Amino acid sequence: MPQITYVDHDGHETRADVPVGENVMRGALYNGVEGIVGECGGGLSCATCHCYVDQDWMEKVGGPSSDAEAELLESAAAEVRPTSRLSCQIEMTDALDGLVVHLPEHQF
């Protein structure tokens, strides 16, 4: 099972196994990772699962998956960076084993 490292704004790391086909947001919620709220449950209607993909992973993960994701990122509570993504829109694959995402200081 692929593993993700979630790094909170203070630098604390939490590693979690996330099944292929699941998304990064649910991986955080199922594993009690604080810093991702996922208020809409992954319905692509909020930005409370905002994360920063580690620069080393950007080529594999890529930018926003849709115009809707890019638009929602504009309303994120924390600074939007070139590596910003909504974690509900990043689906886990075997190729993403070892993925590192950084969490903003706040989601609201």
pLDDT digits (tens, 9 = 90+) for 23-45: 999 999 999 999 999 999 999 99
Banded pLDDT at 78 (limits 50, 70, 90): very high
Percent of the chain with pLDDT over 90: 99
Encoding tokens for residue 89?
């829109």
Give the pLDDT of residue 106.
Answer: 95
Burial bucket for residue 6 (CB in 10 Å: 0-12, 13-18, 19+): buried
Residue 61: partners with Cβ closer than 8 Å, 6 or more residues away: 53, 85, 90, 96, 99
Give the pLDDT of residue 98.
Answer: 98
How far apart, in whole angstroms, are the C-alpha atoms of residue 46 and residue 49? 8
Q: How many CA atoms lie within 13 Å of 102's alpha carbon, on the beta-carbon side?
A: 19
Q: Which fold has domain 3-102?
A: Ubiquitin-like (UB roll) (3.10.20)
Encoding tokens for residue 63?
């930018």
Banded pLDDT at 66 (limits 50, 70, 90): very high
